[in-house]
Amino acid sequence: MKLALFCYSRQGRDTACRVLEAFPDWEVRKFAPERYAENGFQALKRPPRPFYGELFPWADAMVFVGACGIAVREIAPHVRSKATDPAVVSLDDRGQYVIPLLSGHIGGANALARRLAAFLGATPVVTTATDIHDRFSVDEWAARQGWAISSLAAAKTYSAAILERDLPLVSDFPILTELPNGTYIGDTGDLGLSLSWYTKEPFGKTLRLIPRTLHLGLGCRRGTPREAIREAVRAVLDREGIDPRAVGRAASIDLKKDEAGLLEYCEELRIIPDFYTAEELRAVPGEFTASPLVERVTGVDNVCERAALLGADTLIVKKQAAGGVTVALAAENTEVRFG
């Protein structure tokens, strides 16, 4: 994780040094006015717009030790979307109050403020409605779990509605804790929440949260372009009604580790593929769609199913082939814990 830390006075620098102790494992860039820029602090640069603009997309979190107005002015030109903006937190230079300003839920600023306040013995000032009314913060929970949100507009509608009434929830996965405030198990209604890999929408308006726990197993002929792999995978996902955002890993045999089209496709998904030897794939237990030709070429009777299942728990889509590409999907066991 990456932290950009700013202070604007001598007292602020002292408080910033205390803040640093709360993030021992983070990559930190810290800044102070030139007259206080020592002990690892870099000097704040002018003009401010390009200076803060460079740090804004780099940081997972930005912490301003000083007046809220300073933070607001400096980040204002760079704010784009709650899906991508970093967590922004402000605290006074004596470390008495910690205030999340931006990306409270998805970016984690609320949780960051609470963590920092507990560390400093300060007071967190959290103003988001679901938090202060003790209702389920659906986008914060999804971000904390690493799950995808089907629609930020639907999440906004859901968060507004849950302040007024309880809303139904369906889950394809076992729920191991009590339900969060404002929810109940149900599969009908004008608005509700679905926890699923699938694109089904049981409610009049459905907010879907999607765990990234599917493994994509791939095989392809030598020289298969990225576009063919993309089209083959898309066809399988569409046919099965699976949201593409559920795919969290991809794998193949090590013979494909230099296959340009496969590597380009995985880069497009922002996934680093796993490559396994024939021996590792042969050791995967289960019944697979065997191919004598594949076994002669690779040393293992099936690549995509075995590769998908290695590191997962259940094969949910057996081998499907199109255009020289083979695709399979396996799933990790997924459980839901609220709190």
Average pLDDT for 130-157: 94
Asked if residue 151 and residue 167 are part of one domain, the reply reads yes
Q: Which value, in Å, is the radius of gyration of the alpha carbons in the chain?
A: 24
Average pLDDT for 125-154: 93
pLDDT the model gives residue 271: 95
204: left (phi over 0), alpha (psi -120 to 50) or beta: alpha
Give per-residue pLDDT as tens, 282-304.
999 999 999 998 889 899 999 99
Give the pLDDT band of residue 82 (cuts 50, 70, 90): confident
User: Rounded CA gap, 198 and 249, in Å?
Assistant: 17
Calculate ∠ Cα 29-33-36, nearest 5°. 90
Asked if residue 248 and residue 190 are part of one domain, the reply reads no
Asked if residue 218 and residue 272 are part of one domain, the reply reads yes
Tell me which amino acid residue 273 is.
P
Average pLDDT for 207-223: 97
Asked if residue 155 and residue 122 are part of one domain, the reply reads no
Average pLDDT for 65-85: 94
Average pLDDT for 243-267: 97
For the chain, what percent of residues have pLDDT higher than 70? 100
| pLDDT for residue 83 is more than 90 | no
Residue 57 lies inside a defined structural domain of this protein: yes
Maximal CA-CA distance, the chain: 73
Cβ-Cβ contacts under 8 Å for 235 (sequence gap 6 or more): 320, 322
| pLDDT for residue 339 is more than 90 | no
User: Rounded CA gap, 279 and 54, in Å?
Assistant: 47
Kindly report the number of other CB atoms within 10 A of residue 127's CB atom.
11
User: Rounded CA gap, 34 and 43, in Å?
Assistant: 5
Average pLDDT for 133-142: 94
User: Rounded CA gap, 275 and 249, in Å?
Assistant: 11
Give the pLDDT band of residue 57 (cuts 50, 70, 90): very high
Q: Which of 209, 226, 248 is the last residue of a domain?
A: 209
Cβ-Cβ contacts under 8 Å for 239 (sequence gap 6 or more): 320
Give the pLDDT band of residue 99 (cuts 50, 70, 90): very high
Instruction: Tell me the CA end-to-end span of the chain in Å, nearest whole number.
Output: 23
Average pLDDT for 234-239: 97
Locate tokens 């099965």: which residue?
240
Q: What is the CATH number of the domain that holds 228?
A: 3.30.420.180
Calculate ∠ Cα 194-314-186, nearest 5°. 20
66: left (phi over 0), alpha (psi -120 to 50) or beta: left
pLDDT the model gives residue 293: 86
Asked if residue 110 and residue 220 are part of one domain, the reply reads no
Residue 134 lies inside a defined structural domain of this protein: no
User: Rounded CA gap, 196 and 207, in Å?
Assistant: 10
Range of the domain at 78: 2-127
pLDDT the model gives residue 113: 96
Dump strand ranges (E) for the chain: 2-7, 27-32, 42-43, 61-65, 87-91, 97-102, 123-124, 148-149, 167-171, 183-185, 191-195, 205-210, 214-220, 247-253, 274-276, 314-322, 325-331
Asked if residue 222 and residue 310 are part of one domain, the reply reads yes
Q: Which of 93, 127, 161 is the last residue of a domain?
A: 127
How many residues belong to the chain?
A: 339
Cβ-Cβ contacts under 8 Å for 153 (sequence gap 6 or more): none
- Give the chain's domain count: 3
pLDDT the model gives residue 39: 85
Give the pLDDT band of residue 279 (cuts 50, 70, 90): very high
Q: What is the CATH number of the domain that holds 82?
A: 3.40.50.11220
| pLDDT for residue 215 is more than 90 | yes
